Amino acid sequence: MSQYQQHAKKRFGQHFLHDRNVIDNMLRAVNLQPTDHVVEIGPGPGALTFPLLELLPRLDVVEIDRDVIAWWQQQPQAEGKLHIHAQDALKLDIPALRGDGDPLRIIGNLPYNISTPLIFHFLEHRAHIRDMLFMLQKEVVDRLTAEPDSSDYGRLSVMVQYYCEPHYLLKIGPGAFTPPPKVDSAVVYLKPWATQPFIANDTEQFEKLVKQAFAQRRKTLRNTLKGLLTVEQIESVGIDPVRRAETLAVEDFVNLANLLTG
């Protein structure tokens, strides 16, 4: 195994993980089996990739950095096992990658600059995904896993929790990365609901309502939802119009959104 010589590139939001304890904890959390179809986002110099190659007969990785791709093509441990998708992860064709096989297990240290759009891209194709394990900025993980009536709870919390069940696994300090980021990181496990507990009649209307409700956090629903719902409609599903969006559970937002579609 040769050492990767290039520096992390700021334009790709790269911070290379090197702490083996963190990696071991991540792998224990997902309990991978040799038959699993695993996709790693951004293998970088392989802190997570090499342990994955020891566990799996095949590993798909998505990488946009040509220097990283060229380096991997020279690694003997990767030969015949590592399948590189040289592209932007935001454009990954998840249904095609799954094919006729089992749902994908997606894992990775996500680039900070595109982590939220990436998660939404994966959730859009959740029918093809068994679960996801991501390392992200701690601030993002706090928001993904936040509960109502907390300062971290917002639009991202509601939308992600509508589609899946998030679990906060561990916090990671800057020293686990090269170069060290200026913020703490954390690992989150996301599992799409096998059966969604609450279903919006129209997901576009649901997304629109959630976005509008949180557009002005300090205002009451009576004001933020003006033009979408009347006070009487809000009250009809047992919600006090003087409450703020951050106090509502996912079920409440679904009930409100369903008023828009009758």
> Which residues sit in the known binding site?
15, 17, 42, 63, 88, 109
CB 38 within 8 A of CB 60: yes
CB 92 within 8 A of CB 62: yes
Question: How remote is the C-alpha of 8 from its chain's centroid?
Answer: 22
Q: What are the binding residues for S-adenosyl-L-methionine?
A: 15, 17, 42, 63, 88, 109
Distances in whole angstroms, Cα of residue 208 to Cα of each of 23, 198, 242: 38, 17, 20
Q: What is the dihedral of CA 77, 112, 204, 91, to 10 degrees?
A: -40
Three-class SS of residue 193?
Answer: coil
Write out the DSSP string of 5-70.
-SPP-GGGT--EE--HHHHHHHHHHHT--TT--EEEE--TT-TTHHHHHHH-S-EEEEE--HHHHH
Q: Please report, as a single letter, which amino acid is at residue 84.
A: I
